[in-house]
Each structure stands twice: as C-alpha cells, then as structure tokens.
Structure 1
Amino acid sequence: MKVIIIEDEKPSARRLNRMLANEGIEVEVMLHSVAESINWFQHNTHPDLIFLDIQLSDGLSFEIFEEIDINSAIIFTTAFDEYALQAFKLNSIDYLLKPIDEDELVTAVEKYKIRAPKTQNVQLNFDDIKKLLVNPIERTYKKRYTVKVGQHLKMIPIDEIECFYSENKGTYAYTIEGRNYLLETSLENLEDELSPELFYRVSRKFYVNINAIKDIISYTNSRLQIKLYHFEEQEIIVSRERVKDFKNWLN
C-alpha cells in the first residue's frame, strides 16, 4: 500500500508517520504545502491512500485537486470538528480529528482496506466541503438528557452537567448536584450531540463543560490538569497532544 501524508505542521506529520509505522505502514513521503504537493503529484505515481490536512501553509488542500486529477483514497486529518464533518460524511470520506487518536487511526485504516476496491475512480465533491467550511449548516445540540432513576425518568438540563466520563464500559454524566447518572450512549456518540462551544473532549475518558472549570494547573510532561467545581472522583488530565487545541477552545 502506497501512502503519503500532506500536513503543514511538521511535528504533526512526524507524529502521524510514527503512528502509521507502529501499524506496519510505511509512508513514502510527507508534503507540507499546496505548491509542494502539486509538484510531487506531477512527477510521481499517485498513492493508494492520502492522509490530508485541510488548511496548509499556502492555502486549502482542495486547491491541489483543482490542478491535479487524483483518484487516491483520502483520510482527512482535520481540526474542523463541527459542521464540516457533515460534508465529509456526505462524500463518504473518512476523517480523523486532531489530535489524532491511535485507536481511531487504526479503525480508519481498516475501513480503507475494506473499502479499497470501491475507492478507485471516485469523484469527490470538494465544492460541497468548501461551502460548508465557509457557510456551515445550522446545527442543533442536546438541551437535556433523560436518565432512569429507579422506576422514574429524570431530565437533566445540559448546563447542569459538569462533565461526561467513561468508566467500566459505561458512560456517565456528573451534575452540579454531585450526582452520577449512567447514560445509554457512548462518549463517541456524544460528539454529535454536544455543543463544541460548551463541551470539549479533553481525553479519551472525559468531556468537560467550560462553565464547570474551576482551575487549570500545569502538569507533568507538558500536560494540564483540570479542576471542576464539584467533580473530584478522578483526575482530569489534558494530554500533551490536546493542550494546544484545548487552549484554542478556551479562547
């Protein structure tokens, strides 16, 4: 399998390269700009699979495809975690949210291997994606969750939830009242249900409410520790790979 990476942030490109190497996948080349990519495609055999960042140092990566006819399969690596993802889904394109999680990377590659025979000569509608980047579709998010408490159903307003977390294969909501409630969903499903302005996934185990953050403390290995107003059952740590994106979210 011939694989290339197009990513303008060289540390991110190197990290993705290492993750792929751990899975036995050799990357032929790492490209860092629109111009460099166009030149490479003009003089080399096109790969089977491209890991493609959207925003490059000299423009959107879609400009590559306006100049070069490429039929390679594509897995997007993107920080766009809201409306643009709907366009990726409409175009049957796989995507990985930054910072890339290794398990999600493995799943995306396995999906590619299964779908590989169908990815040849597929014409992707990049215009749809660009339109959604500029003029996103209006989305609605969960305003409350309904949980079972004994024989009763309880409605919990979203702004009363300090965090969501996973434990022992269960997903829980922790409220400002200091109560845990088991939900009939997974953290992965919460991605499409929670407003990204209100909640951020700081790790594989936690989503936190921005209004519930009491303190943020420097932690070992360039990580951050988050203190919430009421939740004290576990440490909440922002991984080193997520720190930059987390700080952008806070702003």
Structure 2
Amino acid sequence: MNIIIIEDEKPSARRLQRMLQKLDLKTEVMLHSVEESIQWFQNNAHPDLIFLDIQLSDGLSFEIFEAINIKSAIIFTTAYDEYALKAFKLNSIDYLLKPIDEDELATAVQKYKARTPQTQGVTVDFNDIKKLLVNPIDRVYKKRFAVKVGQHLKLINIDDIECVYSENKGTYVYTTEGRNYLLDSTLDFLENELEPQTFFRINRKFYVNINAIKDMISYTNSRLQIKLKTYNEQEVIVARERVKDFKEWLE
C-alpha cells in the first residue's frame, strides 16, 4: 500500500509515521504545506491512501484538491471536532482527532482495507466541507446552563461565562463573578451547543468568550496567550494550529 502523510507539524507527522510502522505500514513521503503538496502531486504518482491534516501552515488542505484532481482515499487527521466532521461521516471518509489514538488509527486503516476497489477513492465534496468549516449550519445555541450547587440548581446565563475548560476529567465553566461550576457535558459535546461567534475553542482544553478577552500576547512557538478579564487560574494559550483561525474569528 502506497501511503503519504500531509501534516504541517513535523513532530506530529513523525509520530504518525511511527504509529503506522507498528501496523506494518510504510510511509515514504511526508508533505508539510499546500504548496509543497501541489508540487509533489504534479510530479508523482498518486498514493493509495493519504493521511491529511486540514489546517496546514499556508492554508486549508482542501486547496490541494482545488488545484489537483486526486482520487486517493483519505483519512483526515485533524484538531477540528466540529460541524465538518458530520460531512466526513456522511461521505464515508474516516477521520482521527488529534492526538491520534493507536487503536482508532488501526480501526481507520482496517476500514480502508475493507473497502471494495470501487469505493477506495475520494467521494467527498471538499467545497461543501470547506463551507461548513467557515459557515457552520444555522442552529439554536445554548442560552444558559443549569449547574448543581450542593442540593440546589443554579442557572448560569451564557453571557456570564468567561471560559469553559476541562481539568482532571471534568468540564467547568468560569463565570464573570469569579466562580467555577462543574458541568455534566464534555468539551466535545459542547461543540454543537456554544454559539461559534461568541465562543472559540483555542486548544483541546479551552473555550473562550470573545467578550471576556482583555489582552492577547505573542507567545512561544507562534502561539498566542489570552488574558481574560478575571480568570487567572492557569495560562490560556491558543494552540499554534488554531492561531490563524482564531485571528479570523476575532474579525
């Protein structure tokens, strides 16, 4: 099986390569940008399977498919666990959320191998997925949370939440009054519940409310540090792969 990896973070690409080696799968080529990938596909035979990150250093990887007619099968390796993943499922495209789990990787590879030759290639409409990433489907979002405080239930309006974060396997909201409250939901579940113009997932552990941002500071490794109005329990850092989207979200 001929496999390539398209991933802008070289450590992540090497980690995936090692994980594939454990499955007796050899990866000869690793590409790290849209431009590099387009040039490679123009001059090489297309592989059987591509492991593809969505957000590359110079743009969305869908731009590759706008320039090159690629028929390879694709397994997405992505930090996005948002609306576009629904489209991946509908089109029978596998995806793996970062950090990639070895068992999930093995399952995805097995699913690819189980496909018939007629279904091995790309069936997804990349333009539709790209639109979903930029303009999520209109829906009604959560207006408040009901949290348990002792024997009581307390209503917390969404506008009173500075951030939502995970810690020690729990999910918490932090309010403008400086209090933490434990939720019954997970961050992944909240992807479809929080209004995306107000809340942004800056990394795997944090959502921030745009109205609670007090300052933004350049941080190591091309990241950003966020200062919220009252929350100061731990550093709030925008992951490097999310910085570009975060800046677009701010505007």
**In the alignment, is residue 111 of structure 1 matched against residue 97 of structure 2?**
no
* Residue of 34, 38, 41 corresponding to 2:45: 41
SS at match of 1:41: coil
Task: Tell me by how many angstroms 1:28 deviates.
Answer: 1.8
The alignment-based identity, stated in percent, is: 56
Q: Which runs of 5+ in 2 are unaligned?
A: none
Matches within 5 A, 1:138-217: 138-217=138-217
Please, what is the CA RMSD of the aligned residues?
3.3
| Alpha-carbon spacing, 1:193–1:92, altered in 2? closer, same or farther (3 Å) | farther
User: 2: distance between equivalents of 1:141 and 1:232?
Assistant: 27
Match of 1:126 in 2: 124
User: 1: distance between equivalents of 2:92 and 2:42?
Assistant: 24
* Residue of 61, 67, 74 corresponding to 2:65: 61
SS at match of 1:19: helix
| Alpha-carbon spacing, 1:82–1:113, altered in 2? closer, same or farther (3 Å) | closer
User: 2: distance between equivalents of 1:187 and 1:133?
Assistant: 23
Matches within 5 A, 1:23-102: 23=19, 25=21, 26-30=26-30, 32-34=36-38, 36-37=40-41, 39-41=43-45, 46-47=47-48, 49-52=49-52, 59-61=63-65, 64=68, 67=69, 69-70=71-72, 72=73, 74-77=74-77, 82-95=82-95, 101=98
Task: Tell me by how many angstroms 1:176 deviates.
Answer: 1.1
Contact 2:88 2:124 in 1 (8 A): no
Aligned residue pairs total 234
Q: Which runs of 5+ in 1 are unaligned?
A: none
SS at match of 1:88: helix
Deviations 1:85-130 (A, max 9, x none): 3211212323357xxx3x2364652331342443343265324x53
Match of 1:21 in 2: 17
| Alpha-carbon spacing, 1:242–1:68, altered in 2? closer, same or farther (3 Å) | closer
User: 1: distance between equivalents of 2:243 and 2:103?
Assistant: 24
After TM superposition, the score normalised by the length of structure 1 is 0.74
Contact 1:17 1:27 in 2 (8 A): no
Contact 1:34 1:56 in 2 (8 A): no
| Alpha-carbon spacing, 1:249–1:117, altered in 2? closer, same or farther (3 Å) | same
Contact 2:62 2:130 in 1 (8 A): no
Task: Tell me by how many angstroms 1:80 deviates.
Answer: 6.9
Contact 1:53 1:76 in 2 (8 A): yes
